Structure 1
């Protein structure tokens, strides 16, 4: 399965620090599904138009069934991920953001500041994930079954979940 992975970070894109969130998505997803996964990895600054163009490339041109973003979901002026995501979605799936906020809030009260969303563009699922590696792992383990179910509905394809994250 081909998966688009987009990290949004002005500082990581400028080389000021290393992107740790994107590789964490790859690590967790590789353990989440039994099938081999091919990642199309992108690191960009927090730029709405640039993110929109990447969504179009990953979904419309490369036909990635799943696109995961990390970063840019907070309340600061540069956090534009949900706004860019809304532009390209055909349907929103509010339950993804709701469950991530609810479960994350149990551990970290500031998780309520997340504006992460998810939805469908054509036959692809796009999910905004948090920017912290530990939160990425937690959220993806919560969303695994919903991701599989959604891909089955929109593609007729049902990847097999591994038991590595769900003992």
Structure 2
């Protein structure tokens, strides 16, 4: 199994000020370890579109990480700007990832349809927006985690054909 170098980017005004603990990051750490992921970068930033976009670019372009997982800022609140920041920097959208996460969430609550999470690629990196709550992070990430190693192999030119004989 190839090691996947992972960044966790938490978007939270309160957590960035030290007023709230970021519990979602630990859930992400535990889950990505199951597919060979190692968290090598972690930041908590305020819900500011430009700051989020700059961090994603830093992780993908400068640090050349494989997978950027954001948590928080995907709802309908006025400060929820993670999807917009992601859309500012991705080169290609991968809508099936966000669709799969919402579909899984709808099994538990109709509120899952309100998630504005997006997923896409920039260079050889995969970027996925996750919700902010630890429970929702677990449900969403478990829904897409099995496809991530193959997605990265294909994106990075290490994979074979997708079709089976």
Q: Give the secondary-structure state (helix, strand or coil) at the position aligned to 1:37.
A: strand
> Partner residue of 1:119?
120
- Tell whether 2:81 aligns with 1:107: no
- Tell whether 2:41 aligns with 1:40: yes
Please identify, of 15-24 and 55-64, the stretch whose mean Cα deviation from structure 2 is larger.
15-24
Deviation at 1:44, TM superposition (A): 0.4
Deviation at 1:157, TM superposition (A): 4.5
Instruction: Tell me how far apart the structure 2 counterparts of residues 146 and 91 of structure 1 sit (CA, whole Å).
Output: 17
- For normalisation by structure 1, the TM-score amounts to 0.89
**Residue from 4, 7, 22 that aligns with 1:4:** 7
- For normalisation by structure 2, the TM-score amounts to 0.90
Q: Give the secondary-structure state (helix, strand or coil) at the position aligned to 1:41.
A: strand
Q: Which runs of 5+ in 2 are unaligned?
A: 160-165
Q: Which runs of 5+ in 1 are unaligned?
A: 159-167
**Deviation per CA, 1:118-157, whole angstroms, max 9, x where unpaired?**
0000110000011111111122111122211210111135
> Partner residue of 1:15?
18
Deviation at 1:24, TM superposition (A): 1.4
Deviation at 1:36, TM superposition (A): 5.9
**Deviation per CA, 1:16-69, whole angstroms, max 9, x where unpaired?**
111111121112112x21x36142001001000000110111000000010000
Instruction: Tell me how far apart the structure 1 counterparts of residues 77 and 141 of structure 2 sit (CA, whole Å).
Output: 24
How many residues get paired? 156
CA RMSD of aligned residues (A): 1.3
